[in-house]
Amino acid sequence: MNEQPNNPLHGITLEKLLIRLVDHYGWDELGSLIDIRCFNWEPSIKSSLKFLRKTPWARDEVEHLYLNTDFGAS
């Protein structure tokens, strides 16, 4: 039985979500859409994950962008 049937992010790790956004937008555009230092200054998956795990408001923005991004046929 699915534990979170109404959670569209259930089963998607923050790392997978972030990698998919970076692949889709690139760091420059992602930093324009969500103005946080870890996206705009020496960006990396590792530093961004560390920041997002400690900062609920930033994680919320990233998750919101993910849910509202049309990834097309991928």
Distances in Å between the Cα of 36 and the Cα atoms of 5, 31, 61, 68 are 31, 7, 10, 19
Q: Where are the alpha helices (DSSP H) in 1-74?
A: 14-33, 37-40, 45-54, 56-67
The yes-or-no verdict on residue 63 having pLDDT over 50 is yes
The yes-or-no verdict on residue 71 having pLDDT over 90 is no
The yes-or-no verdict on residue 73 having pLDDT over 80 is no
pTM summary value: 0.86
The tens digit of pLDDT for each residue in 6-58 reads: 888 888 999 999 999 999 999 999 999 999 999 999 999 999 999 999 999 99
Q: Integer distance in angstroms from the first to the last C-alpha of the chain?
A: 27
